[in-house]
A = this chain, B = another copy of it.
């Protein structure tokens, strides 16, 4: 209505006594206004603090979601092979860097809802990290084994760190890559049984500290939220390797040595993830490899203080941001279940059955809700962590990892 009257007014002013063709041109001007108005309003201002992505592993796509209204903003395709994919965020929380299994590093623009850049940086990669200052993105590779570091802005290669060990001909698969304060990246060499600390304060000349003989087959690692302790899980033996980054000269020491000793280990259906480990107060909650237990460790002396019996082989044990609850999911045949441990009583207080294929869980920054991906039902469920009530259900195609933008401000995520 206002559109019409506007154009009429326009004609009256411009076209007084002019030929009809002139009116037409004047109308063009009016529609130009209208078109550009539409063009501008089509992309309103949007903040990024409540955004996140959900990896859709089957289709090589990701959903951009928002946690305030609990809705899907849009879907972005063309991310390659996203089996076992993970992501980190730019310091302004605009871009997600998605690490694909095919060696693809994809820079996802959360505001434009598209792929702003993508490089195939190796044949087979397993995850990555972003430097403390947000300027460097590191990727850990299986093939060729090593770490490559890229400019977060352009994705140009900044440094290449081949994981060469032993006689110098072999390259090891790299796992458990995390960022640490002081522009450092810490990672483990699966085949070599080593932990490396790379300082990229000068990106053109990474200084690398190597720790050898740390144990057989480190398969994943974590770093405490303060960035002080790096802990690698060992698949080849019964314990974990710990490095105190405040005292690197003290070297790597063994903790929880033989936590399964003397007992018949179960076959391992799925390796647990340590990155999503849980720290509640002074207590760490770690998924035990192959056992139906979550280990409780006192971080003061790194001694085991308790074990919490759970329904199956734990995969992720994740603490609610306030540390009061630890949410656990499981390997087959129990991957339809989530159990909630009260960190104080160290007992399971709730068992949920979201459905087959619970692959990942992510808490909102202040912990009032948790997002759970249920692959086989093509759903993401959002739960209230106080009432355990289901707050929302979102459709997603074979969802796996869920990553919210507040990770941008956290150490080691």
Contact of A49 among B22, B33, B48, B322 (CB under 8 A): B48
CB distance from A303 to the nearest CB of B (A): 15
CB distance from A284 to the nearest CB of B (A): 13
Tell me the count of chain A residues lying within 8 A, CB to CB, of chain B.
64
Q: Is A86 an interface residue (CB 8 A)?
A: no
Q: Is A409 an interface residue (CB 8 A)?
A: yes
Q: Is A411 an interface residue (CB 8 A)?
A: yes
CB distance from A62 to the nearest CB of B (A): 17
Q: Is A257 an interface residue (CB 8 A)?
A: no
Please, how many angstroms separate the alpha-carbon atoms of A324 and B46 in the complex?
35
Find out whether the CB atom of A50 lies under 8 angstroms from the CB atom of B368: no
Among the 9-residue stretches A87-95, A117-125, A330-338, the one with 4 or more Cβ atoms under 8 Å from chain B is A87-95
Find out whether the CB atom of B14 lies under 8 angstroms from the CB atom of A25: yes
Find out whether the CB atom of A181 lies under 8 angstroms from the CB atom of B411: no
Find out whether the CB atom of A323 lies under 8 angstroms from the CB atom of B49: no
Find out whether the CB atom of B49 lies under 8 angstroms from the CB atom of A368: no
Q: Is A26 an interface residue (CB 8 A)?
A: yes
Contacts of A92 in B (CB 8 A): 47-51, 66, 68
Find out whether the CB atom of B36 lies under 8 angstroms from the CB atom of A25: no
Find out whether the CB atom of A49 lies under 8 angstroms from the CB atom of B324: no
Find out whether the CB atom of B91 lies under 8 angstroms from the CB atom of A50: yes
CB distance from A187 to the nearest CB of B (A): 18
Please, how many angstroms separate the alpha-carbon atoms of A410 and B406 in the complex?
10
Contacts of A280 in B (CB 8 A): 226
Q: Is A261 an interface residue (CB 8 A)?
A: no
From known contacts A21-B22, A36-B40, infer whether A48 and B93 are also in contact, taking CB-CB under 8 Å.
Answer: yes
Find out whether the CB atom of A45 lies under 8 angstroms from the CB atom of B112: yes
Contacts of A181 in B (CB 8 A): 322, 324, 366-368, 386
Please, how many angstroms separate the alpha-carbon atoms of A228 and B22 in the complex?
73
Closest to A228 in B: B322
CB distance from A244 to the nearest CB of B (A): 11
Find out whether the CB atom of A94 lies under 8 angstroms from the CB atom of B365: no
For window 102-121 of A, CB contacts with B under 8 Å fall at 110-112
Q: Is A321 an interface residue (CB 8 A)?
A: yes
Find out whether the CB atom of B322 lies under 8 angstroms from the CB atom of A226: yes
16 A-B contacts, Cβ less than 8 Å apart?
A14-B25, A36-B37, A39-B40, A45-B94, A49-B92, A49-B405, A68-B92, A93-B93, A132-B367, A181-B322, A181-B366, A226-B280, A226-B321, A228-B322, A246-B344, A366-B409
